[in-house]
């Protein structure tokens, strides 16, 4: 998984160049997870840390309670995202994290979102609730 310094979000589609870019306005165009949840998952697995890329989420946030934003809109840099729901773990978590990986991510997998207004986002862009 590549970790670019920026990405172009395309309204109602997804992240430009992402293999999951859709042709419909789905609820899972961008996924996010809190760095605090990544640390908790590592702890549940008895590790000091894990690479966020193992969790296969698009954005890692810091200091934001993502679950409290469900159904709300946020601005990330110049874009607007609508938080659409919980990002549940998949069976790939066992392969990526080892035995217990799926259960370690349960309830801490982050959120999904829909792109309302697109644009280019960069690492370090401010995230703010707008509604």
Whichever domain contains 114, its CATH number is 2.40.33.20
Q: With bands split at pLDDT 50, 70 and 90, how would you rate the model's confidence at 18?
A: confident
Cα 15 from Cα 67, distance rounded (Å) = 22
40 vs 4, 50, 91, 98, 99, CA distance in Å?
A: 24, 10, 19, 16, 16
Cβ atoms < 10 Å from Cβ of 38: 22
- Three-state SS at 23: coil
Query: Is 1 within the bounds of a domain?
Result: no
- Stated pTM of the model: 0.92
Q: Is residue 98 part of a domain?
A: yes
Does some domain include residue 21?
yes
pLDDT tens, residue by residue, 50-94: 999 999 999 999 999 999 999 999 999 999 999 999 999 998 999
* 28 belongs to a structural domain: yes
Best CA proximity match to 97, nearest among 57, 45, 22: 45
Residue 35 token pair: 């760095």
Q: Find the domain containing 84 and state its range.
A: 6-129
75 within domain boundaries: yes
Is residue 50 one of the residues assigned to a domain?
Answer: yes
Average model confidence (pLDDT) across the chain: 93
In a domain, 47, yes or no: yes
Whether 19 shows a pLDDT value over 90: the answer reads: no
Residue 7 has pLDDT above 90, yes or no: yes
Q: CA-CA distance, 100 to 33, in Å (whole number)?
A: 19
Closest by CA position to 60, among listed 90, 82, 39: 39
Number of domains forming the structure of the chain = 1
Alpha carbons 25 and 43: distance in angstroms, whole number? 36
**39 falls within a domain:** yes
Q: How far is CA 71 from the centre of its chain?
A: 15
């Amino acid at each position: 998984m590549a970790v670019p310094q920026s990405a172009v979000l395309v309204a109602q589609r997804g992240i430009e160049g992402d293999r999951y870019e859709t042709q419909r306005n789905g609820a899972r165009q961008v996924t996010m997870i809190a760095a605090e949840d990544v640390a908790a998952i590592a702890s549940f697995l008895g590790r000091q840390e894990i690479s966020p890329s193992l969790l296969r989420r698009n954005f890692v946030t810091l200091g934001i309670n993502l679950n409290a934003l469900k159904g709300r809109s946020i601005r990330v840099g110049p874009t607007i995202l609508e938080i659409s729901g919980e990002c549940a773990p998949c069976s790939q978590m066992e392969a990526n994290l080892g035995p217990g990986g799926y259960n370690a991510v349960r309830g801490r997998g982050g959120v999904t979102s829909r792109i309302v207004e697109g644009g280019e986002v960069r690492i370090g862009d401010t995230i703010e609730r707008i509604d």
